[in-house]
Amino acid sequence: MPTIDIISTEINFIGNLVGSYTDLQDLMALAAQGKVTLHTQQYALTDFQRALDDLDAGTVRGRAILIP
């Protein structure tokens, strides 16, 4: 759909990137039981630029986490 049509007709998109709250609860229960593997890459907070560069390059599998 062209962007101008969305703007001119004031179309609203409502969505969710992670599923419902129940889905999140189920996922957390599975993770606690060791039945799913979470893919993360940790970065020191001072290495935020490297994290951004890795995300931009597509080399992060899963989530990048900044650790203070």
Domain encompassing residue 8: 3-67
Least confident of 19-23, 49-53, 64-68: 19-23
Model confidence at 18: pLDDT above 80: no
- The pTM assigned to this predicted structure is 0.54
Q: Into how many domains does the chain fold?
A: 1
Q: Are 47 and 68 in contact (CB under 8 A)?
A: no
Strand (E) or helix (H) holding 51? helix 48-57
Phi, psi dihedral angles at 45 (to 5 degrees):
-55, -35
More confident residue, 15 or 49: 49
More confident residue, 44 or 2: 44
Give per-residue pLDDT as tens, 26-56: 988 998 999 998 899 999 999 999 999 999 9
